[in-house]
């Protein structure tokens, strides 16, 4: 347990199974398109998809 209310949790995940688990927990899930295509991550339930976790700016 992280000790934070579910609506304040964000999960970053690069695999469909992890995206599914994050959604099942009620967290907002961000897919990382490092292994799978963005379309696959969205189809798995990611609310957002990013290319990587590098800084923008």
Q: What is the 3-state secondary structure (H, E, C) of 1-34?
A: CCCCCHHHCEEEECCHHHHHHHHHHCCEEEEECC
**Could you report the per-residue pLDDT of 20-47, keeping only the tens digit for each?**
999 999 999 999 999 999 999 999 999 9
Percent of the chain with pLDDT over 90: 72
Nearest to 31, CA basis, from 55, 17, 50: 50
Pick from 2-6, 11-15, 24-28, 52-56 the range whose average pLDDT is largest. Answer: 11-15
Cα of 22 vs its chain's centroid, Å: 7
Q: Please tell me the predicted confidence (pLDDT) of residue 24.
A: 94
In the chain, the number of structural domains is 1
Asked, for residue 55, whether it belongs to a domain, the answer is no
Residue with the larger pLDDT of the pair 42 and 56 = 42
Which pair of structure tokens corresponds to residue 24? Answer: 């099942």
Asked, for residue 40, whether it belongs to a domain, the answer is yes
- Beta pairing class for 28-32 and 48-50: parallel
Domain that holds residue 44: 6-50
């Amino acid at each position: 347990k992280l000790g934070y209310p579910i609506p304040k949790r964000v999960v970053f995940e690069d695999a469909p199974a992890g995206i599914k688990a994050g959604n099942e927990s009620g967290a907002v899930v961000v897919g990382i398109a490092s292994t799978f295509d963005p379309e696959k991550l969205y189809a798995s339930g990611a609310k957002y998809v990013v290319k990587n976790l590098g800084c923008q700016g």
